[in-house]
Chains A and B, each alone.
Chain A
C-alpha cells in the first residue's frame, strides 16, 4: 500500500540490492528522493548506477531490500508506476523506422493518451526541444544531440511526475550538452522531479540539488554538491605537473604543503584552502613544475578522496 507518511517522497529505497547470477551490481543502498528535487547518482562506469535506475524504472526486478516509487511497489504495480515515469535511457531506443513526429505520437499512445491529446502534446514537445522543423525527418538523419533531445521529448509525452535520465549527455559535444542542460533546468523549474545518473562531475554540479556518490555497488557519500565538496575536499586545489615519472617521488616533498596530496599519472594534486600559497612555497623549495594550475575543488576531487580513483578512467 501507499506510504502515507512519506507523501512527498518520490523514491524510497532501503537496503536495495540487485544481483545478476553471482555478480552483485547493487549491494544494499538507501536512497530517498523528494518531490521537485534534482537528484543525482554519480559514479564511474560499473558503479551500479544503471542497475539502480532500471529498478527505479520498474523494468528490472529488485533482488533484495525494499523499493517504493511514487508510493508503490514495482513488483506489484509496475505498469501503474511506469505510467507516471519518464525514462530517458542511456542508449537511444528511438524507432529508426518512424519519423521524428511519429516517434512521439506512437509513444504517447502506449500510455493510453487519446489521439487528439497526443497530437497536441507532440507539437508542444517538438517545440520545446527545438525539433519542430525536423518533425517529418527520419530519426537516422538526426545528429546525436537531436536524437537525445527527441528521446527526452518522448520521455515527457505522458507528463511524468518523475523523470529518469541515465547518462543523458554521454557522447554529446559540449554545445549539445549545454542545450540539453538548459532543457533539463527548465523542466526542474516547472516542478518535475529529476533523477540523473552521470559520471561527469560537471553535469552533477550543474543539475543536481542533491546526489549520492556510488562506487562498486555502494553509496560512499551523500549530500548537495557544495556540501560534499566542503566535507570531503578543500576549497582549492593546486595542480602541479612535473616531468614524466617524477610525480611519485616528488609527492613527499610537497606533502606538508596541503591537507592532502594525490598522485595522478600526469600530475600532483595538492589540496589546500589557498592554492596560490602552495604554488609559491613549491617555488621557494626550488622545485620547478612544468605547469601549475590553481582551481576550486570539484566533485571529481570528492570522488578521488573517497575512493582513491578518478571518475573517468
Chain B
C-alpha cells in the first residue's frame, strides 16, 4: 500500500468555481422542467394582459395625470404586471423546490458531501432563479413591445432590469424563509397573506395614491411597490431619479440581506 498523499489542497472553492460546478445540474433541471414553466411563465401573463389591460382597461380613461404618466390603462398596467409576475416566479422557485432539495429528497445533503459549501448552493440556486426571471420578463417585454406600451427604446430595458431585480429580492428573502420552515404549511400562509395581497395592492393595478394617505404609504413600504414603481417609471419614461435611487437601493439591500439570511438558515439546517 503506497503512502497516501497528504499534501493540502486549496482550503475552499471560490464562489465562481463553486457555482460553475453546479451549472450542469441546473441545466439538467431546466431541460426537464421548461415545458411546464411555459404555461406559468408565458401563457398566464398574457392572459392577465388581455383580461386586465385590454378588456378591463377599455373602461378606464387614459388620463396621464391619474395614471402616473401612462396614456392608456394598458401602458399603466403592463410594467406593474411584469414586476408582479417576477415576484410570483421568484416565490415559486424558492418555496417548494428549496424545501424538496433541503428536506424531502435531501439533495442538498449530498451536495454538501462534496467540496461545495452552503454559500455555493444558495448562490447557484438563486442564479438559476435569475435565469428564469431574465427569460420570463424578457419574453414578456418583447411580446408587448409592438403594442405601444413603452415610451422609449431604452425604457423597457431598464424596466426589465428592475423586474429581474425585484424578483431577486423576493427570491433571496423567500429562500431564507423556506430554510426556516419545517413543513410546507407555511407556504399556504405566505401565498395567501403575503404574495397575493402584495400582488393586488402594491400598485400593479392602480396608482397606490388611490389607497389614501396612510394606505398609500403602507403600500410604498412593500418591496413589490419598489419594483412596480421602478419598472413603470422606466417603461413610461416618467422618471423621478431620487425615487428610482431609493427603489434600487431598497431592492439591492433586500437581495443582499436575503442572500445572507438564506446562507445562515441553510447552514443551521444542514451543517449541525
Contacts and interface: CB of A to CB of B under 8 A. Distances in A.
Interface string B12-38: 110001000111110011001000000
Residue of B8, B107, B109, B113 with highest tally of chain A CB at under 10 A: B113
B271 interface: yes
Contact of A98 (B6, B28, B117, B272): B28
B-side interface mostly: loop
Contacts of A4: 6
Contact of B115 (A71, A82, A96, A97): A82
B109 A79 contact: no
B28 A112 contact: no
B4 A91 contact: no
4 closest cross-chain pairs (CB), A and B: A80-B9, A71-B6, A79-B115, A93-B110
A97 B1 contact: no
B25 A7 contact: no
Contacts of A79: 9-13, 115-117
Given A60-B272, A95-B105, A89 B110 contact: yes
Given A83-B115, A105-B24, 18 more contacts: A4-B6, A35-B3, A59-B271, A79-B9, A79-B12, A80-B10, A83-B114, A85-B113, A93-B109, A94-B110, A95-B107, A106-B24, A109-B21, A109-B24, A110-B22, A112-B115, A154-B110, A191-B1
B7 interface: yes
Given A79-B117, A83-B114, A110-B111, A93 B106 contact: yes
Contacts, number: 113
B43 interface: no
Given A77-B11, A112-B115, A2 B6 contact: yes
A97 B110 CA distance: 14
Interface string A74-92: 0011111011110101010
Interface of B: 1, 3-4, 6-13, 17, 21-25, 28-29, 32, 105-107, 109-117, 270-272
Contact of A7 (B6, B24, B115): B6
A95 B32 CA distance: 13
A-side interface mostly: loop
B115 A106 contact: no
A152 B105 CA distance: 17
30 contacts: A1-B8, A7-B3, A7-B4, A8-B4, A35-B1, A35-B3, A59-B271, A60-B271, A70-B4, A71-B8, A77-B8, A77-B11, A79-B9, A79-B117, A80-B8, A80-B10, A80-B115, A82-B113, A83-B115, A87-B113, A89-B110, A93-B106, A95-B110, A97-B29, A105-B24, A109-B21, A110-B111, A111-B115, A112-B13, A154-B110
B272 A20 contact: yes
A224 B220 CA distance: 71
Nearest to B113: A87
Interface in A1-21: 1-4, 7-8, 10, 20
Contacts of B28: 98, 102, 106
Contact of B6 (A70, A82, A85, A110): A70
Contacts of A258: none
B113 A72 contact: no
Contacts of B21: 109-112
